[in-house]
Amino acid sequence: MKSQIFINLPVKDLTKAMDFYTKIGFTNNPQFTDETAACMFISDEIFVMLLTHPKFKEFIKKEISDTAKTTEVINSLSVGSIAKMNEMADAAINAGAQEPTEPKDYGFMEQRSFSDLDGHHWEVFYMDMSKFPQ
């Protein structure tokens, strides 16, 4: 079995969070979804677990980060084209996300940012290694 990654995010409103992530192209896996958590499928190896605050607290001893004041992590996701990058970022913004930074072009990589409804920071990017500086 290939390694998989499960990004666990605390959310204030599970239904709204599920709707948001569906609008940006993730798919819900009902097998791992109940009233306290939802598994959102990105690929065969990448999943986002949306957890209500009480459920999230079952796994930690520290306080949940206040994303209005701090950034607890940057979730970066590569996509297959600049068009896909813009499609996801635009869909996120249209679904209520904030765009905390301007788009960036590094020559070999372009990147857009958004903060979801709970303030979790995402970077979506396209990288063309043929343009990577030698």
In terms of Cα–Cα distance, which of 17, 8, 24 is closest to 93? Answer: 24
Architecture in CATH for domain 1-60 = Roll (3.10)
Superfamily of domain 71-134: 2,3-Dihydroxybiphenyl 1,2-Dioxygenase, domain 1 (3.10.180.10)
Q: Which residues contact 102 (CB under 8 A, 6 or more apart)?
A: none
Provide the residue-wise pLDDT of the chain in tens; the chain has 134 residues: 789 999 999 999 999 999 999 999 999 999 999 999 999 999 999 999 999 999 999 999 999 999 999 998 999 999 999 999 999 999 999 999 999 999 999 999 999 999 999 999 999 999 998 998 88
For the chain, the structural domain boundaries read 1-60, 71-134
